[in-house]
Amino acid sequence: MTDPAIQTKLTEILQLLKRQQSTPSAQPSSAHTDDVDAFQVLDNSDATTTGRGRAVEYVKATESSFDDLAAAEDFLNDIAGLSDGKRMSKCNDYGSKRTATSQLRYRCPFARKKGFAVCKFVGMISCDLAGKHTVYVSAGPHIPHQPLPGFEEYHAENTRKEKLRSIVDDCVKKGAKVDATLRAVIDEGIAASDGITKELETFVYNRRAKVIKTLNLGVPKPGDSMLELIEFCEANSAIPSDPDSVFCLCHRMGDDDSRDFMAIFSTRRLLETNGRLSTVCLDYTFKLSWCSMPVVAYGGLLAPSRFCMLALGYSISESASSVKFLMESVRDTCRALSIQHCPDTMVGDAAGGYDVAWEDVRRLLRLEPPTAMDADFVL
């Protein structure tokens, strides 16, 4: 008995041979002889009906060759006749061991553009071992692009989305929150006052997140390795002259005398504005979506219920040693800035390291935990 897998494979091969014999384009093209630099690449499937992919017949666009890829791409875009700054889009690349060439495939930007008929005009740039780039295009003219029925509605919706993106981008650069961004959208007439849908809110949130990730506000960023992170903290440990520049108050990463991994950051404006408050609060926050390590926030409390940030950072250990290290760094930095940072009350949860750190730093400890607190934080 023959193996069923072998029978299946033989059947596929026979079907492929029959399909190639019945396809006219699979035979050598009589329109091109050996002295004409044109060739045809065939796929295993009958892709000639679409006029795209690897079954496209390419002809040389010019007898000249180019020394670099950029010049060849510029020539391809010129002969494509695109307007409004549009360019051919690279879609694939192939290599041939037999001819020792590499081929870059390009398609018209209207091939998948919504609101227009599919454009089948494609191009190819072939590079040989000598570094010469030759430009080919698909046989036949580049047909003008015709909009499909309903293009006006699509264009109006696309224009609305472009304006919405512009509003969100501008609000992010100005530091506006989501509510202010939605008000700006209403003021610009993009949505009515009662037309803030869940879809619109999702679009604003997603666009804000995308812009914030790519927005360059002049704040330096560390590298990916631990050594680069340590170098970043050390390079930004000096107190800057700019009150809004972020600097590192303290950092401890893999020291011999500590197993902690932490770094605390602040600005002069935060310390100068909130450093004199008499009541402070400290808390560790775990499982944040934007940080894989626990985040520690340290700040002052202002009646009736306002938290005023002093420092923010990360620390993998919620221990007395880490809390003490943070408090001492804030205290010492405030002294360097001539700020009287002498809080007499600390509000926190029942973490065991808070009271030990508070006692070591301030030499003040309330032995009996408070049972109640009024709106002015009076115990």
SS (H, E, C) 140-207: CCCCCCCECCCHHHHHHHHHHHHHHHHHHHHHHHCCCCHHHHHHHHHHCCCCCCCCCCHHHHHHHHHH
Tell me the torsion sign for CA atoms 365, 299, 337, 249: positive
Distances (CA, A) of 95 to 51, 125, 127, 154, 305: 21, 12, 10, 39, 66
Q: What is the mean pLDDT of residues 271-279?
A: 89
Q: How many domains does the chain have?
A: 3
Residue 118 and residue 204 share a domain: no
Among 28-42, 105-119, 309-323, which stretch is predicted with the lowest mean pLDDT?
Answer: 28-42
7 falls within a domain: no
Residue 30 and residue 118 share a domain: yes
Residue 178 and residue 235 share a domain: no
132 falls within a domain: yes
Q: Which two tokens stand for residue 89?
A: 């889009």
Q: Is the pLDDT of residue 114 over 50?
A: yes
Torsion angle defined by CA atoms of residues 23, 27, 30 and 32, in that order, rounded to the nearest 10 degrees: 110
What's the pLDDT at 9? 64
DSSP label of 81: T
Neighbouring CB atoms inside 10 A of 48's CB total: 18
Q: What is the mean pLDDT of residues 123-148?
A: 87
- Please answer whether residues 38 and 98 qualify as being in contact, where contact means their C-beta atoms are separated by less than 8 angstroms: no
265 falls within a domain: yes
- Please answer whether residues 137 and 61 qualify as being in contact, where contact means their C-beta atoms are separated by less than 8 angstroms: yes
Region class of 175: left (phi > 0), else alpha (psi between -120 and 50), else beta: left
Residue 241 and residue 209 share a domain: no
Sheet of strand 261-266: strand arrangement: 247-253, 261-266, 306-315, 295-302, 279-285, 345-347
Residue 329 and residue 249 share a domain: yes
Residue 230 and residue 358 share a domain: yes
Quote the domain boundaries for residue 256. Answer: 226-362
Residue 352 and residue 260 share a domain: yes
1 falls within a domain: no
Q: Is the pLDDT of residue 363 over 80?
A: no
Q: Is the pLDDT of residue 37 over 70?
A: no
Q: What is the mean pLDDT of residues 275-304?
A: 83
Runs of H (alpha helix) within 1-110: 4-22, 69-80
What's the pLDDT at 29? 36
The share of the chain scoring above pLDDT 90, in percent, equals 7
Residue 306 and residue 202 share a domain: no
pLDDT tens by residue, 199-249 = 888 888 988 888 887 776 656 677 777 888 888 888 888 898 888 888 999
- pLDDT category at 81 given cuts 50, 70, 90 is confident
Residue 107 and residue 232 share a domain: no
What's the pLDDT at 310? 92
53 falls within a domain: yes
Pick the closest to residue 76 from 107, 52, 119 (CA basis).
107
Residue 171 and residue 126 share a domain: no
DSSP label of 334: H
- pLDDT category at 53 given cuts 50, 70, 90 is low
- Tell me the C-alpha distance between 126 and 89, whole Å: 16
15 falls within a domain: no
- pLDDT category at 371 given cuts 50, 70, 90 is low
Residue 200 and residue 156 share a domain: yes
What's the pLDDT at 39? 32
301 falls within a domain: yes
Q: Is the pLDDT of residue 339 over 50?
A: yes
Q: Which two tokens stand for residue 212?
A: 């914030």
Residue 287 and residue 169 share a domain: no
What's the pLDDT at 153? 78
